[in-house]
């Protein structure tokens, strides 16, 4: 679209807005009918560790949302001399899972418990046995059941349970709904009905009856919708929440709110069978769309869905780049102390490029990047750790290489179950997130870990905010009954530019040697967790 076309689209209310609440950044993207970004805005935020709980304050949700939107509306006015008053559609996305419980008046009953909390071990284990379906620690149903087991006084008063995306959508539309992909991180989905699994609902309700709890599970869960279904319109109250200046008009249609896993699949064109994507930032997860069900239950593998309800194997590690970022910040402090002003992006580039020159296996060094607990390796808490022997080849190249390897360590253990035990096949993997920001470095190490080519598209930098904007576009633009995978392939990604890095044998063998050392050293991490309370 040229400048005149964009101006007309803005004035005519044809642009589409996507906003995603990530773990460290809230990002907004405005796109045209050609799906290309027109403007973007963002707001940095951080979770807090309060009273043993990882949480975000709800007031920070609205502060960040309004600031991200304000940046977009300001950019639109400055670049196109047209106020942003009408939109063709809106979509909201956020970190999946967690626990947001409200009473019948809409009051939050306990502070938001995010996906990062690993305090639900007993509940997750009991539900996995009850359902014969893996229930991870971070799932909403695990948090709910743990609250019941703990006899928390708020439980009888629950009227609505949702995710962060579902909460924002509810407040802006009045609709208690959720996209099927995000819903699949709350409670198991039946992909034949694209709804919560009714048999498992009944099993859980039997537990509720034994506890003399007055509500039933469906009473408090959101309604499940698939991509392409309308999920309400922007209310008068919602318009003021999004745009306190009062310029934004009401009645704008919204697509179903989705989780960051689903928007990652959309943003990387990975919603068809035998495709996969890896989102690597504060946490890292790999999503592989399955051709058939897995042969058995694996505690390391989540089963979720695409935004249209197709089954997906998800390997999720709580920890990825936080420890890497901490080390880069330390180097940044050092350069500042020397009086050198080095751009942080440049520092990342230099340090990441150094990792490419290290020994294939990282020179015998070992690191654990666990800021928080890690369910794949059965650790309930995190202790970032760096270990070496006197014989290790300790230099900057190996130091950086091992920390990049470590960011993928837990993920690799989970992926090996799919590739080696279940013989899952994939044709392509696409990467997105901060781990891939330095060109070809993160790709090369991810290709080594997965032993499959890894692609990064130029559009991947827009991430999940762009992905949920595409879902808003799918609601508005798709021809009748066109599947999402066809819409993306034909109308969004046809001819898309990007880079692909194939696995190098020396890297694959080096990563394999590292991961064996990583597995042997887990007892060291366990000792650190036990000793440093």
Pick the closest to residue 296 from 128, 132, 419, 130 (CA basis). 132
**Rg for the chain, CA atoms, rounded:** 23
pLDDT at 461: 55
Rounded Cα–Cα distance for residues 401 and 442 (Å): 10
The pLDDT of residue 386: 98
Q: Which two tokens stand for residue 387?
A: 């270990």
Question: Helix 409-416 vs helix 505-520: angle between axes, to the nearest 10 degrees?
Answer: 100
pLDDT at 462: 61
Neighbours of 227 (CB within 10 A): 26
Q: How many other C-beta atoms can be found within 10 angstroms of the C-beta atom of residue 461?
A: 16
Question: What is the reported pLDDT for 460?
Answer: 55
**Residue of 163, 172, 21 lying closest to 87 (CA atoms):** 172
Half-sphere exposure of 101 (CA within 13 A, CB side): 21
Q: What is the pLDDT along the chain (533 residues), one digit of tens a residue?
A: 899 999 999 999 999 999 999 999 999 999 999 999 999 999 999 999 999 999 999 999 999 999 999 999 999 999 999 999 999 999 999 999 999 999 999 999 999 999 989 899 999 999 999 999 999 999 999 999 999 999 999 999 999 999 999 999 999 999 999 999 999 999 999 999 999 999 999 999 999 999 999 999 999 999 999 999 999 999 999 999 999 999 999 999 999 999 998 998 999 899 999 899 998 988 898 999 999 889 999 988 999 999 999 999 999 898 999 999 999 999 999 999 999 999 999 999 999 999 999 999 999 999 999 999 998 999 989 999 999 999 999 999 999 999 999 999 999 999 999 999 999 998 889 998 889 989 999 999 999 999 999 999 876 556 789 999 999 999 998 878 899 999 999 999 988 878 999 999 999 999 999 999 999 999 999 999 999 98
Residue whose entry in the numeric block shows the structure tokens 């962060």: 164
Matching residue, tokens 């679209």: 1
Structure confidence at residue 478 (pLDDT): 82
pLDDT at res. 299:
86
DSSP state of 462: G
pLDDT at position 448, please? 96
Q: What is the DSSP string of 61-97?
A: HHHHHHHHHHHHHHHHHHHHS------SEEEEEE---
| C-alpha–C-alpha distance, residues 521 and 288, integer Å | 28
| Strand pairing class (366-368; 385-387) | antiparallel
């Amino acid at each position: 679209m040229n400048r005149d076309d964009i101006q007309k689209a803005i004035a005519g209310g044809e642009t589409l807005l996507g906003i995603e609440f990530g773990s460290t950044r809230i990002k907004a993207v405005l796109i045209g009918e050609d799906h290309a970004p027109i403007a973007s805005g963002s707001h940095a935020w951080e979770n807090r560790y309060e009273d043993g709980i990882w949480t975000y304050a709800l007031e920070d949700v609205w502060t960040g949302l309004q600031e991200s939107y304000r940046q977009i509306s300001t950019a639109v006015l400055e670049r196109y001399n047209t106020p942003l008053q009408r939109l063709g559609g809106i979509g909201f996305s956020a970190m999946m899972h967690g626990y947001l419980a409200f009473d019948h008046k809409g009051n939050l009953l306990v502070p938001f418990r995010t996906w990062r909390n690993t305090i639900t071990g007993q509940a997750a284990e009991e539900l996995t046995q009850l359902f014969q379906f893996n229930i991870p620690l971070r799932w909403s149903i695990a948090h709910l059941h743990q609250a019941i087991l703990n006899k928390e006084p708020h439980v009888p008063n629950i009227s609505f349970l949702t995710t962060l995306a579902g909460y924002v959508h509810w407040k802006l539309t009045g609709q208690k709904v959720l996209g099927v992909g995000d819903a699949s991180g709350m409670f198991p989905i039946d992909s034949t009905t694209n709804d919560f699994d009714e048999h498992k609902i009944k099993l859980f309700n039997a537990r509720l009856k034994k506890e003399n709890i007055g509500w039933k599970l469906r009473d408090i869960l959101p309604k499940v919708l698939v991509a392409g279904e309308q999920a309400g319109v922007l209310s008068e109250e919602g318009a003021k929440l999004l745009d306190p200046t009062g310029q934004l008009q009401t009645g704008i249609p919204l697509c179903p709110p989705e989780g960051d896993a689903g928007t990652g699949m959309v943003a990387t064109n990975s919603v068809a069978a035998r495709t996969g994507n890896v989102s690597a930032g504060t946490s890292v997860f790999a999503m592989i769309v399955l051709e058939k069900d897995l042969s058995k239950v694996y505690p390391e593998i989540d089963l979720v869905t695409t935004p249209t309800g197709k089954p997906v194997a998800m390997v999720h590690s709580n920890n990825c780049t936080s420890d890497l970022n901490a080390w880069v910040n330390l180097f940044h402090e050092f350069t500042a102390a020397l009086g050198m002003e080095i751009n942080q992006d440049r520092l990342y580039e230099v340090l990441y490029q150094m990792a490419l020159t290290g020994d294939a296996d990282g020179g015998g060094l070992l690191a654990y990047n666990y800021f928080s607990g890690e369910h794949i390796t059965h650790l309930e808490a995190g202790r970032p750790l760096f270990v070496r022997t006197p014989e290790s080849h300790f230099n900057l190249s190996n130091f950086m290489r091992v920390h990049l390897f470590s960011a993928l360590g837990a993920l690799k253990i989970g992926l090996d179950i799919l590739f080696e035990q279940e013989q899952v096949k994939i044709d392509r993997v696409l990467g997105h997130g901060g781990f891939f920001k330095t060109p070809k470095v993160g790709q090369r190490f991810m290709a080594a870990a997965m032993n499959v080519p890894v692609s990064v598209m130029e559009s991947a930098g827009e991430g999940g905010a762009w992905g949920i904007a595409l879902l808003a576009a799918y609601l508005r633009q798709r021809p009748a009954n066109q599947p999402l995978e066809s819409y993306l392939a034909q109308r969004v990604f046809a001819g898309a530019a990007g880079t692909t890095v194939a696995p190098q044998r020396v890297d694959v063998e080096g990563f394999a040697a590292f991961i064996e050392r990583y597995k042997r050293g887990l007892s060291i991490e366990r000792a650190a967790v036990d000793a440093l309370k």
